[in-house]
């Protein structure tokens, strides 16, 4: 269950270079390639001739050619040629709106008529020369909402990432969650704590002492359909924390674009944007490597959690204060899915899966 009328990250630009890329997005097998102008095109990965995947074909001067019998497919999903054939009567395949922006290729798996580039939120860090970005891609066997839960409740850092970004003060600082329209924000502030290893590294990378008390913050922003951007940072204690001047802090934005592949698997585009030493490529690589290791620690937990939920579909999970970010994000998702289905409420079949509010805290 996912909104289909939305922009999802499909791939990174360098994944679509000379050869077509086959990738399933929101249950739709798609092929991505670049046309003669270099623009990325997304089509159903199905040749109307004999059903071969077009992603096994090749690109000839910007035209996608089926690798089985040479059908040439146009950017709109209409065959444009085939050796010895008149293709006018061939059935079309779907084409999907695509935008290449902010260092990602975005696809709209739903109703193309509703696709609008203006609906893609602005990402300041992706366009400014004052910021640097590094990231990667993981394939994980879980419902995309489990990953949203994960990212909107960072108390898991203390357990899953105990040796890098976790610290007991995360548990001790209650988060605050607010919803504004379709956006959800969960904030946590910790004052006068020791910086954990990852942040010591970041402080050093920013030319700051790493052995003094710091104020630390985590502000998680969910926006539909499944994007979580997290402002994170530490400042030398007593200088204003989140609002401290640039020469007293190390901060960055954890970038999480979660694209459903199927109901129980995702393409997880993770990364970090920082606004200090943006030209230091070695630092970018170092942070990327560290983050990649940390984020890989979540994979087994998410996949095994998914398996447990599939085995016990009738069990209700708890909704504690720390879970409020995920819970509110799911409500936004439920509402959007219901809207797509032309209904005013969540459809019955899905409603049985909705987690009841508990008052355990």
Instruction: Give the interface segment with a copy of itself, choosing from 108-116, 202-210, 261-269, 319-327 (CB under 8 A).
Output: 319-327
Least distance between a copy of itself and beta carbon 238 (Å): 25
Site membership for a copy of itself, residue 358 (CB under 8 A): yes
165's CB contacts (< 8 A; 6+ apart) are: 157, 196, 197, 198, 199, 294
Inter-residue contact 337 to 182 (CB < 8 Å)? no
Least distance between a copy of itself and beta carbon 357 (Å): 12
Size of residue set near a copy of itself by CB under 8 A? 59
Q: Please, which residues bridge with residue 132 across strands?
A: 274
Identify the residue whose tokens are 């077009």: 54
Instruction: Name the residue nearer to a copy of itself (CB basis): 344 or 359.
Output: 359
Instruction: Give the interface segment with a copy of itself, choosing from 6-14, 97-105, 148-156, 286-294 (CB under 8 A).
Output: 148-156
Inter-residue contact 150 to 156 (CB < 8 Å)? yes
Site membership for a copy of itself, residue 348 (CB under 8 A): no
- Between CA 300 and CA 218, with CA 259 as vertex, the angle to 5 degrees is 70
Site membership for a copy of itself, residue 190 (CB under 8 A): no
* Cα-Cα-Cα-Cα dihedral sign, residues 97, 100, 102, 104: positive
Site membership for a copy of itself, residue 122 (CB under 8 A): no
Instruction: Give the interface segment with a copy of itself, choosing from 46-54, 109-117, 119-127, 129-137 (CB under 8 A).
Output: 46-54
Least distance between a copy of itself and beta carbon 266 (Å): 17
Site membership for a copy of itself, residue 52 (CB under 8 A): yes
Least distance between a copy of itself and beta carbon 236 (Å): 26
Give the CA-trace dihedral at 95, 101, 103, 107, to 10 degrees.
-30
Number of residues that this document lists for the chain: 361
Instruction: Give the interface segment with a copy of itself, choosing from 49-57, 205-213, 214-222, 244-252 (CB under 8 A).
Output: 49-57
Site string for a copy of itself, 69-108 (x = CB under 8 A): xx-----------xxxxxxxxxx-----------------
Distances in Å between the alpha carbon of 124 and those of 103, 131, 217, 275, 301?
A: 12, 9, 20, 11, 32
Site membership for a copy of itself, residue 149 (CB under 8 A): yes
Instruction: Give the interface segment with a copy of itself, choosing from 136-144, 233-241, 282-290, 353-361 (CB under 8 A).
Output: 353-361
Site for a copy of itself in 289-318 (CB under 8 A): 300-301, 304-305, 307-309, 311-312, 315-318
- Between CA 200 and CA 208, with CA 203 as vertex, the angle to 5 degrees is 125
- Characterise 24 by phi-psi region: left (phi > 0), alpha (psi -120 to 50), beta (else): beta
Of 82, 35, 86, whose CA–CA distance to 61 is shortest?
Answer: 35
Site membership for a copy of itself, residue 53 (CB under 8 A): yes
Least distance between a copy of itself and beta carbon 286 (Å): 27
Neighbours of 138 (CB within 10 A): 16
Least distance between a copy of itself and beta carbon 279 (Å): 38
Q: Please, which residues bridge with residue 230 across strands?
A: 220, 254
> Cα separation of 56 and 325, whole Å?
41
Site string for a copy of itself, 150-189 (x = CB under 8 A): ---x-xx-xxx-------x--xx-x---------------
> Cα separation of 29 and 46, whole Å?
8
Q: Which residues bind a copy of itself (CB under 8 A)?
A: 29, 45-46, 48-53, 56-57, 65-70, 82-91, 149, 153, 155-156, 158-160, 168, 171-172, 174, 300-301, 304-305, 307-309, 311-312, 315-318, 320-323, 358-361
């Amino acid at each position: 269950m996912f909104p289909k009328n939305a922009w999802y990250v499909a791939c990174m630009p360098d994944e679509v270079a000379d050869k077509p890329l086959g990738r399933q997005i929101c249950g739709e097998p798609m092929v991505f390639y670049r046309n003669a102008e270099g623009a990325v095109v997304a089509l159903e990965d199905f040749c109307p001739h004999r059903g071969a995947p077009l992603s096994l074909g090749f690109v000839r001067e910007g035209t996608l050619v089926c690798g089985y019998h040479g059908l040439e497919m146009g950017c709109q999903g209409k065959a444009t040629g085939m050796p010895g054939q008149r293709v006018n009567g061939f059935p079309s395949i779907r084409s999907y709106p695509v935008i290449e922006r902010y260092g990602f290729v975005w696809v709209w798996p739903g109703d193309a008529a509703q696709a609008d580039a203006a609906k893609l939120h602005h990402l300041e860090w992706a366009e400014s020369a004052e910021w640097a970005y590094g990231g990667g891609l993981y394939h994980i066997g879980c419902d995309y909402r489990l990953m949203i839960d994960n990212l909107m409740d960072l108390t898991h850092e203390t357990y899953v990432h105990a040796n890098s970004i976790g610290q007991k003060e995360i548990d001790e600082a209650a988060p605050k969650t607010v919803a504004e329209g379709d956006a959800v924000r969960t904030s946590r502030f910790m004052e006068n704590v020791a910086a954990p290893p990852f942040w010591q590294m970041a402080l050093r990378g920013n030319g700051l002492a790493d052995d003094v008390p710091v104020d630390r913050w985590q502000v998680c922003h969910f926006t539909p359909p499944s994007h979580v951007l997290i402002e994170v940072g530490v400042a030398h204690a007593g200088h204003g924390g989140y609002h401290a001047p640039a020469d007293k802090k190390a901060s960055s934005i954890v970038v999480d674009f979660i694209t459903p592949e199927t109901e129980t698997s995702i393409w997880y585009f993770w990364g970090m944007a920082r606004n200090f030493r943006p030209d230091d490529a070695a630092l970018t690589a170092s942070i990327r490597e560290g983050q990649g290791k940390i984020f890989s620690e979540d994979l087994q937990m998410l996949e095994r959690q998914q398996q447990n939920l599939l085995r016990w579909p009738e069990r209700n999970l708890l909704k504690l204060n720390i879970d409020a970010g995920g819970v509110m994000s799911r409500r936004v998702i439920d509402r959007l899915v219901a809207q797509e289905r032309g209904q005013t409420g969540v459809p019955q079949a899905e409603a049985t899966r909705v987690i009841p509010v508990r008052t355990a805290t």
